[in-house]
A = this chain, B = another copy of it.
Amino acid sequence: MEDKNFKAKIKQIAVDHFDKNGYYGTTIRNIASEAGCSLPMIYYYYKSKKELFHEIIKKDYFDILSRQAEQIECDNLIDFYSDFVYELNNLNEFDKKIYRLGIKVYLGFDGDDELIEYLDSWEKNIASRHAQLVKPHLKPQQNAEVIVSTLIHLLENLIESIIVKNRFLPKEQIRQELSIILADKIKNK
């Protein structure tokens, strides 16, 4: 088996196990056995179990987040957020598991304190990004603070439904729910 692919295969299996059984419930032996290799092979590619887990969160999870954050063209607010949420349905299974793992750590349900803190700071960043994005579109008399925080709460739960509960949400439903919050609060084009 050639270097690059095999290292990736190990991570793929690791993601699967971390996702299904958590950090403590996952064993290097299980990963090795499913990868069809001996136990020390895992250590040939990854320094330790902890490093493997950290890399998945710090590198792979953040890659997905960054890829999402790139598309910040925003003509119509409701279109934008509908697309943003809907596209989560179409993530491949591997990325979905990584995303799920990231949320699990973010909520403090897995991983160590270092990792949780790491994610916390990013998510704070996200909140103010939404505010910047939304505020210019709001009608002047609106209470922007509340609208943004309500929107974020809705978004977070929609994301959780798709990623964590593994449900499919139709685009029309996403759009309608977002419209309930935004429709009469934003300026007409």
Contacts and interface: CB of A to CB of B under 8 A. Distances in A.
A183 to B, nearest CB: 11
Contacts of A149: 173, 177
A24 interface: yes
B164 A107 contact: yes
Interface stretch (A1-9, A69-77, A131-139, A153-161): A153-161
A180 B147 contact: yes
A108 B143 contact: no
A70 to B, nearest CB: 25
Interface in A143-180: 143, 146-147, 149-150, 153-154, 156-158, 160-161, 164-165, 173, 176-177, 180
A84 interface: no
A181 interface: yes
A46 interface: no
Given A146-B173, A154-B153, A180-B146, A164 B108 contact: yes
A36 to B, nearest CB: 24
Contact of A22 (B24, B156, B160): B24
Top 8 nearest A-B pairs by Cβ distance? Answer: A24-B24, A153-B157, A24-B25, A157-B157, A150-B177, A146-B176, A109-B109, A150-B180
